């Protein structure tokens, strides 16, 4: 019987081994991809199911009215049953809240009505981080009503009822300056953003804020 020289035989076995290796590798990649796709599919089914169960009429709950479309993000590892955080489409997430910039020019009370019709309030600012976040996405040429106003006698009140903390404010220099200016606007006066008291009957753009929606 004719036998292949051993060096040829070794070369052939090495080639076959490489082929098997690459086949196995391709199959592993395919299996992992299928598993990942299946996981995403199941996760999206769960979210859709939750949305449908919570909102049998295809609408979000009462507090989150008028949002036909939302964007959701995974909150990372599941530590509770709240896995997804969502904001209505065209709102910007920051921390546990969503923010909407209204470019309509409206009186302060109309601005608040507009926010509340969307299950939100005019912007309430609680920290320098939040003030910096929002000012980074506003246009420097405009003023924006926020949810702070004075019902009289310089008693500043946040629209959501949270206490006004005089240690966490971002008034422009020499503001507030006029008892007849009972509403507050967020405005850029070179070189800084800050708050200015302004008559509530002036028309401004505005910012709404609402809690993220969790599923
Ligand atoms: O100089 C600050 C001052 O500027 C304006 O008044 C001249 C603002 N009022 C209006 O824009 C109506 C004040 O609120 C502001 O304090
Ligand atoms: Ca003022």
Nearest CA to ligand 1 atom 7: 198
pTM to 2 decimal places: 0.73
What spacing in Å lies between the alpha carbon of 183 and ligand 2's midpoint?
Answer: 9
Q: How far is the CA of 214 from the centre of ligand 2 (A)?
A: 39
At 59 the pLDDT is: 41
Class of 47-214 per CATH? Answer: alpha beta
Q: State which of 177, 189, 190 you would mutate to test the pocket of ligand 1, scoring each by most atoms of that ligand within 8 A of its C-beta.
A: 177
- In ligand 1, the atom with minimum distance to the C-alpha of 176 is 16
Q: How many angstroms separate the CA atoms of 159 and 150, rounded? A: 10
Residue pair 170/131 in contact (Cβ under 8 Å)? The answer is yes
Domain layout of the chain by residue ranges? 1-36, 47-214
In this prediction, residue 62 carries a pLDDT of: 40
| Measured distance CA(4)–CA(151) in Å, rounded | 100
Tens-digit pLDDT profile for the chain (215 aa)?
A: 344 444 444 444 556 667 777 788 888 877 777 676 665 454 544 444 444 444 444 344 444 556 889 999 987 766 566 688 999 999 999 999 999 999 999 999 999 999 999 999 999 999 999 999 999 999 999 999 999 999 999 999 999 999 999 999 999 999 999 999 999 999 999 999 999 999 999 999 999 999 999 98
């Amino acid at each position: 019987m004719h036998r292949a020289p051993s060096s040829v035989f070794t070369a052939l076995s090495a080639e076959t081994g490489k082929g098997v290796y690459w086949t196995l590798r391709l199959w592993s990649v395919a299996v992992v991809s299928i598993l990942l796709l299946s996981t995403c599919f199941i996760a999206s089914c769960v979210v859709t199911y939750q949305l449908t169960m919570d909102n049998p009429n295809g609408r979000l709950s009462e507090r989150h009215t008028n949002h036909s479309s939302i964007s959701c993000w995974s909150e990372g590892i599941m530590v509770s049953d709240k896995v997804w955080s969502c904001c209505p489409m065209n709102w910007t997430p920051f921390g546990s809240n969503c923010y909407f910039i209204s470019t309509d020019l409206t009186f302060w009370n109309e601005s608040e009505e507009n926010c509340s019709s969307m299950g939100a309030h005019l912007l309430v600012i609680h920290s320098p981080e939040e003030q910096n976040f929002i000012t980074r996405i506003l246009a420097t040429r405009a003023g924006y009503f926020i949810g702070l106003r004075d019902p009289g006698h310089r008693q500043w009140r946040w629209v959501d009822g949270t206490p006004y903390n005089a240690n966490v404010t971002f008034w422009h220099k020499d503001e507030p300056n006029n008892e007849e200016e009972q509403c507050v606007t967020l405005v850029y006066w070179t070189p800084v953003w800050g708050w200015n008291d302004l008559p509530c009957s002036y028309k401004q753009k505005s910012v709404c804020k609402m809690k993220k929606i969790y599923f």
